[in-house]
Amino acid sequence: MEMNDPRGVADLHAHTWYSDGKHPPQDLVRMAAAAGLTHLAVTDHETVGGIAEAMSAAADAGIEVVPGIEFATRIKTIEIHVVGLWIDPENDAIAEAVASVHDERRVRAERMLAKLNALGVRIGMEDVLRVVGKGAISRPHVAQALVETGAVAKFEEAFARYLGRHGSAYVPRRNFSPAEAIKAVHDAGGVAVLAHGLIGGPGREHVARIAKEGLDAVEAVHPKLGDADRAWLRGFARKNGLGISGGSDWHGAGWSEGEIGDYAITGEELRDLETRRKRSGKETPERLPTDNGIEPRRGG
């Protein structure tokens, strides 16, 4: 796998400690600016918690933060991640989707812990909550808690034995469909993107299906994508009128292959994505052109 075009200017996929990243939003913004990027999207899993801090840090750093989110969705057992870009973090559709995911994740974690306890592993919710940052509980948190309580020697072992799809304490998530995620992103004014292209589950047939469900773009730039997949994704986007997005999917040093700045889309790709933004119900009046081109008055 090679690095992306070094002239890339926008990293549109990265995680802070508001989900499963290791760093505060300010660190990511600083790194993006140091790498010479003009835009960084904060796309935490199922939370918009880090966006405000990132935006205020960005004002000082002289770069632009794109408010984003990443939803894990599924078609049957296939996991498909949808990134929303330029979402209004205060939009009700996003808030509702986030709240339902958080509730469901909490119940699921309790069920995984019950299975672990039944297998003789002594671990409690307090052990998991110690490693959860500010976001929802995910399997990596449970895996880390299993390491820290000494139940397994290594993070990977937690997945191999217990938490992976074939692990003995695995509990699937409720099916939040790609179409539901795309709708929430659109309702919040955003651009819906297939995260990490064909990595992590989706086959080409799934990409074609969700393209029909309103997807706006695909990530064709990502540290885990090989040359063949990247080429296919770019061809698919061109043939189907979709945009190209991508980024480092950074979670912190050692957790991700890509560094911020190494995987970025070009200015041309960025401008194309921006034209795909939807109107959100709560968009500020000055960003909404009227039919006659005259700006509506505020407060009306």
- Per CB under 6 A, residues contacting ligand AMP are 72, 138-140, 156, 159, 164, 173
Closer Cβ to ligand AMP, 137 or 182, answer by number: 137
* Distance in angstroms (rounded) separating the CA atoms of residues 56 and 62: 10
Closer Cβ to ligand AMP, 23 or 139, answer by number: 139
| Smallest separation (angstroms) from Mn ion to the CB of 20 | 4
DSSP character string of 176-218? --HHHHHHHHHHTT-EEEETTTTTTS--HHHHHHHHHTT--EE
| Smallest separation (angstroms) from ligand AMP to the CB of 160 | 7
Residue 44 touches Mn ion, criterion: CB under 5 A? no
Choices 118-126, 220-228, 229-237, 243-251 (CB under 5 A): range interacting with Mn ion: 243-251
Residue 269 touches Mn ion, criterion: CB under 5 A? no
Residue 20 touches Mn ion, criterion: CB under 5 A? yes
β 78-85/191-194 pair status:
antiparallel
Contacts of 118 (CB under 8 A, 6+ apart): none
Contact 84, 68 (CB under 8 A): yes
111-123 residues labelled b (16+ CB within 10 A) or e (exposed): ebbebbeeeebeb
DSSP 263: S
Residues 277-296 binding Mn ion (CB under 5 A) are none
DSSP character string of 277-289? PPPPTT--GGGS-
Q: Which does 195 bind (CB under 5 to 8 A by kind): ligand AMP, Mn ion, none?
A: Mn ion
Contact 97, 181 (CB under 8 A): yes
* Cα angle for residues 166, 170, 172 (degrees, 5° grid): 105
The count of residues interacting with Mn ion (CB under 5 A) is: 5
| Smallest separation (angstroms) from Mn ion to the CB of 66 | 14
Closer Cβ to Mn ion, 58 or 195, answer by number: 195
Residue selected from 9, 142, 188, 195 as contacting Mn ion according to rule CB under 5 A: 195
| Smallest separation (angstroms) from ligand AMP to the CB of 256 | 10
Closer Cβ to Mn ion, 121 or 178, answer by number: 178
Please give the single-letter amino acid code of residue 163. L
Return the number of other C-beta atoms located less than 10 Å from residue 133's C-beta: 19
Closer Cβ to ligand AMP, 70 or 269, answer by number: 70
| Shortest-Cβ-distance residue relative to ligand AMP | 138
| Smallest separation (angstroms) from ligand AMP to the CB of 105 | 7
Residue 69 touches Mn ion, criterion: CB under 5 A? no
* Residue ranges binding Mn ion (CB under 5 A): 20, 70, 81, 195, 249
